């Protein structure tokens, strides 16, 4: 089974998965204040935005950041290699509406926990990123 | 038992900070200027100090830091090795006469050294740090006299050199003299701690023996190992009172109240308590934990406009300017704007009115937020600072609001601290932080739930019997 040695190796499979799920525009490394969201996606029909935080192992820090990204995206996911994703505390994620994607083996991605619509999304932030994504190349 | 509010002495870092001092003059307990700033811009710095003093009716205590440590040995932050070459004071620039690029001591420090006396001037001339351990007793006396004279006379000299039309400013000549004078001080590293501490005590004693017109204060500028050592701490407690100085300013390089382990927090409290009964004790670069030590005898803290809790003796050259974060009063720490925003609903704050009640109701917060809590985002407003910048950075206006908000809070904190009792302090810090303690986005600041972060460590240090 292929292993992921760098977080960046998760980017391609997760981006592909998002594209297949209707996110026509995706962008890596999107700045949100001092943070850098690993992946931000935009789907036009229905219009929705999703932020993804990639992590190889230490998921708690990613979870803390994911909660912050709920301010600027409708849905927020953590994406980890499948083996690491199995160790994530799923009830905690569910309680806070954060989704979980398991990556691998290979480019396969499985949504283990679907994200819930963020209840704290701020329209000023979200609208900014929607504009940004609409201006970007498909 | 309640105490006198500890003082907050604000240090001027550059003339770009002028507005903060002018706006906040009436709240300040003191104003400190570094000798390097005064010497590179004497007239402008003089005018600023007097303008601030004028707003306060000349009652604002003024301190002139001779910064003698800059001309002594230091530890290179990148290699960890002792340096005696004064390279930390140097910069690359073009020589005015030859137009060739040179690497030389900055003009501000060259000018300061020439004013402080021959030891410092010689250090710059030869590019070699002052080694206080080889300076003879007679020469030490001369060094102390030179450093005292500099602090007492310099502002008056500048006033005499420039034309002052303002009658009020002429009248303010009474504040030419600083509130205190500092004895010469040099950085003490653990590898020369014994000799360094002896020298610090000796310089303090010699300066006090000069009996200048204003009180003499010592500065203990040492690295963390000195603070961690029970023997060194006890030595200072035993020796400093006998020097005759009436105050001491502590500066432990690397001591960060927000990251310090329990033993450092407790030892800092021990040294404050040990000396507090005999002299005024200040933290030269302190924050909220230090303010809480007013009940142990701390007279005050000092810090700059943009930082509060620490300052390294040797700065890392070329370090990028960090984002000015929002000071979250309930946890006494600066945190990112989105971190705060994400936590607000979790702590039950959904309206501007709730924010003003539970977080901050300073003029800045009220002005920025108004009736719409979403406008809190303005504290973190970003822009692309230049066409070549790779990332967005905080706008100057947002940074300024964060600084003003921090300073307004900081200048009110001493009164709140003074109203507490010594026994209440630990409960106070934990109770204020409690609603925020379990917010996940703040765990990077407060530590994981169940583990001791700085709030729990402060509480334990404050409750420790010493």
Q: Which residues of B touch A65 (CB under 8 A)?
A: 441
Predicted local distance difference test score (pLDDT) of residue A126: 96
Mean pLDDT of B394-420: 96
pLDDT confidence of residue A107: 84
Is residue B209 over pLDDT 90? yes
Q: Chain A residues with CB inside 8 Å of B444's CB?
A: 61, 64
Closest approach of B319 to chain A, Cα-based (Å): 16
The whole-number average pLDDT for the span B439-453 is 92
* B323, B377, B440 ranked by CB distance to A63: nearest: B440
Contact A37, A29 (CB under 8 A): yes
What are the structure tokens assigned to B397, written together?
């206006």
φ, ψ for residue B363, nearest 5 deg = -60, -40
What is the percent of chain B with per-residue pLDDT over 90, rounded to a whole number?
80
Round to whole Å and give the CA distance between A112 and A100: 5
Nearest partner of B289 among B437, B425, B448, judged by Cα: B425
Contact between A125 and B440 using a beta-carbon 8 Å cutoff: no
Whole-prediction pTM: 0.94
Please report the sign of the dihedral spanned by the C-alpha atoms of residue B168, residue B171, residue B176, residue B178: negative
* Per-residue pLDDT at A136 exceeds 90: no
Q: Which of A60, A61, A71 sits opposite B338 (nearest CB)?
A: A71
Per the model's pLDDT, the better-predicted residue between A14 and B308 turns out to be A14
Distance from CA of A131 to the nearest CA of B (A): 16
Question: How far is it, in rounded angstroms, from Cα B39 to Cα B185?
Answer: 19
Contact B289, B455 (CB under 8 A): no
Residue B34 CA: distances (Å) to CA of A136, B46, B123, B232, B297 = 50, 12, 19, 28, 26
CB of B444 within 8 Å of a chain A CB? The answer is: yes
Q: Would you say residue A13 has pLDDT above 50?
A: yes
Read off the pLDDT band of B169 (50, 70, 90). low
Instruction: Please determine, for residue B307, whether its predicted confidence score (pLDDT) is greater than 80.
Output: no
B321 touches chain A (CB under 8 A): no
Whether B374 sits inside 8 A of A33 (CB atoms) is no
Residues of chain A with Cβ-Cβ distance to B338 below 8 Å are: 32-33, 35, 68, 71-72
Our measurement of the distance from residue B212's CA atom to the centroid of its chain's CA atoms, rounded to an integer in Å, reads 25
Residues of B in contact with A31 (CB under 8 A): 382, 391-392
pLDDT above 80 (res B287): yes
* CA of A87 vs chain B CAs: smallest distance (Å): 18
What tens digit of pLDDT does each residue of B132-161 get? 999 999 999 999 999 999 999 999 899 888
Residue of B nearest to A70 (CA): B342
Using the Cβ of A134 and the Cβ atoms of chain B, whether some distance falls under 8 Å is answered with no
CA B124 to chain centre: 25
Q: Residue B441: list chain A partners with CB under 8 A.
A: 64-65, 67-68
Pick among B335, B395, B441 to test the A interface (most A CBs inside 10 A)? B441
pLDDT tens digit string along A30-76? 999 999 999 999 999 899 999 999 999 889 999 999 999 999 999 99
Average of per-residue pLDDT across B168-187: 80
Q: Read off the pLDDT of each residue in B420-432 and give the average, rounded to a whole number.
A: 96
Contact check, Cβ <8 Å, A125/B377: yes
Given this model, what pLDDT does residue B315 score?
Answer: 72
Q: How confident is the model at residue B303 (pLDDT cuts 50, 70, 90)?
A: very high
Q: Is the pLDDT of residue B370 over 90?
A: yes
Is a pLDDT exceeding 80 seen at residue B267? yes
Residue A70 and residue B444: Cβ atoms within 8 Å?
A: no
**Cα B272-B276-B279 angle, rounded to 5 deg:** 125
Residue B272 pLDDT:
98
Residue B265 has pLDDT above 70, yes or no: yes
Q: Is the pLDDT of residue B171 over 60?
A: no
- Partner-chain contact B337 A60, CB within 8 Å: no
As a whole number, mean pLDDT of residues B240-257 equals 97
Considering only the beta carbons, identify the residue of B337, B345, B391 that sits closest to A31.
B391
With 50 as the cut, is the pLDDT of residue A1 above it? no
ipTM of this complex? 0.94
Three-class SS of B155-223:
HHHHHHHCCCCCHHHHHHHHHHCCCCEECCCCCECHHHHHHHHHHHHHHHHHHHHCCCCCCEEEEEEEE
Nearest to B68 by CA among B157, B3, B136, B132: B132
Residues of B in Cβ contact (< 8 Å) with A119: 345
Q: What is the pLDDT of residues B66-97, one digit of tens each?
A: 999 999 999 998 899 999 999 999 988 888 78
Tell me, what's the pLDDT at A129? 96
Interface membership of A29 toward B (CB under 8 Å): no
Mutate to test the interface with B, among A28, A64, A69, A125 (most CBs of B within 10 A): A64
**How many angstroms separate the most distant Cα atoms in chain B?**
68
B345–A67 C-beta distance less than 8 A: no
Distance, in angstroms, between B338 CA and closest chain A CA? 6
CB within 8 Å: A124 and B377:
yes
Query: Which residues have a Cβ under 8 Å from the Cβ of A107 and sit 6 or more positions away?
Result: A12, A13, A16
A124 touches chain B (CB under 8 A): yes
- Asked if residue B415 has a cis previous peptide bond (ω within 30° of 0), the answer is no
Give the tens place of pLDDT for each residue, A76-126: 999 999 999 999 999 999 999 999 999 988 889 999 999 999 999 999 999
A75-81: strand order across its sheet: A25-32, A35-44, A47-54, A75-81, A99-103, A109-113
User: Residue B170 pLDDT more than 60?
Assistant: no
Give the nearest partner residue to B341 out of A65, A71, A119, using CB atoms. Answer: A71
Within a 13 Å sphere around the CA of B58, how many CA atoms are in the beta-carbon half?
10
Among chain B residues, the shortest Cα distance to A68 is held by: B342
Q: Can you tell me the mean pLDDT for B377-402?
A: 93
Distance from CA of A1 to the nearest CA of B (A): 34
A7 or B57, higher pLDDT: A7
The minimum CA-CA distance between B354 and chain A, rounded to whole Å, is: 17
Query: Between these two residues, B310 and B26, which has the higher pLDDT value?
Result: B26
Does A63 sit within 8 Å of B323, measured CB to CB? Answer: no
Give the confidence band of B193 by pLDDT, cuts at 50, 70, 90: very high
* Whole-number pLDDT of residue B316: 65
* A window 77-116, beta carbon within 8 A of B: 96
Residue B439's nearest CA partner among B306, B312, B307, B340 is B340
């Amino acid at each position: 089974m292929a292993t992921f040695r760098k977080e960046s190796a998760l980017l391609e499979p997760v981006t592909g998965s998002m594209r297949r799920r209707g996110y026509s525009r995706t962008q890596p490394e999107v700045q949100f204040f001092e943070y850098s969201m690993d992946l931000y996606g935009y789907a036009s029909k229905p219009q929705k935005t999703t932020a993804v935080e990639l992590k190889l192992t230490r998921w708690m820090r990613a979870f803390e950041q994911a909660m912050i990204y709920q301010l600027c995206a409708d849905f927020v996911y953590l994406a980890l290699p499948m083996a690491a994703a199995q160790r994530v505390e799923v009830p905690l994620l569910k309680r806070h509406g954060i989704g979980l994607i398991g990556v691998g083996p290979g480019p396969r991605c499985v949504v283990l926990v679907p994200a819930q619509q963020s209840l704290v999304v701020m329209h000023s932030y979200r609208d900014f990123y929607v504009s940004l994504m609409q201006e970007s190349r498909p | 038992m309640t105490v006198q509010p500890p003082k907050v002495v604000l240090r001027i870092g550059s003339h770009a900070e002028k507005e903060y001092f002018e706006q906040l003059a009436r709240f300040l307990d003191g104003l400190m200027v570094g000798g390097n700033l005064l010497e590179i811009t004497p007239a402008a710095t003089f005018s600023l100090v007097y303008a601030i003093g004028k707003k306060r009716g000349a009652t604002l205590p003024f301190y002139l830091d001779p910064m003698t440590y800059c001309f002594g040995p230091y530890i290179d932050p990148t290699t960890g090795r002792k340096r005696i070459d004064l390279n930390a004071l140097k910069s690359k620039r073009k020589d005015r006469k030859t137009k060739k690029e040179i690497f030389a001591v900055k003009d501000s420090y060259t000018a300061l050294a020439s004013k402080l006396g021959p030891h410092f001037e010689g250090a710059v001339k030869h590019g070699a740090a002052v080694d206080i351990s080889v300076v003879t007793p007679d020469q030490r006396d001369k060094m102390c006299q030179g450093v005292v004279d500099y602090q007492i006379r310099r502002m008056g000299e500048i006033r005499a050199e420039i034309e002052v039309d303002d009658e009020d400013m002429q009248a303010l000549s009474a504040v030419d003299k600083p509130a205190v004078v500092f004895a010469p001080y040099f950085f003490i590293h653990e590898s020369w701690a014994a000799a360094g501490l002896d020298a610090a005590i000796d310089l303090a004693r010699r300066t006090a023996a000069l009996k200048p017109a204003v009180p003499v204060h010592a500065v203990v500028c040492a690295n963390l190992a000195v603070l961690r050592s029970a023997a060194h701490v006890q030595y200072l407690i035993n020796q400093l009172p006998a020097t005759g100085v009436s105050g001491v300013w502590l500066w432990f390089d690397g001591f960060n109240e927000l990251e310090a382990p329990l033993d450092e927090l407790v030892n800092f409290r021990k040294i404050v308590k040990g000396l507090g009964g005999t002299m005024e004790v200040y933290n030269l670069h302190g924050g909220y934990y230090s303010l809480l030590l007013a009940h142990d005898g701390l007279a005050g803290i000092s810090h700059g406009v943009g930082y509060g809790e620490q300052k390294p003796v040797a700065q890392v050259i070329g370090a990028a300017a960090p984002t000015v974060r929002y000071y979250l009063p309930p946890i006494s720490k600066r945190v990112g704007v989105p971190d705060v925003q994400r936590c607000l609903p979790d702590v039950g704050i959904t309206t501007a009115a709730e924010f003003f009640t539970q977080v901050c109701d300073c003029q800045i917060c009220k002005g920025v937020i108004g009736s719409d809590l979403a406008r809190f985002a303005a504290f973190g407003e970003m822009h692309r600072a230049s066409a070549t910048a790779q990332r967005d950075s905080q706008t100057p206006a947002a940074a300024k609001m964060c600084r003003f908000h921090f300073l307004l809070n900081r200048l009110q904190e001493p009164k709140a601290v003074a109203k507490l009792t010594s026994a209440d302090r630990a409960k106070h810090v934990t109770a204020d932080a409690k609603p925020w303690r379990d917010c996940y986005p703040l765990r990077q600041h407060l530590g994981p739930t169940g583990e001791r972060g700085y709030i729990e460590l402060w509480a334990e240090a404050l409750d420790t019997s010493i």
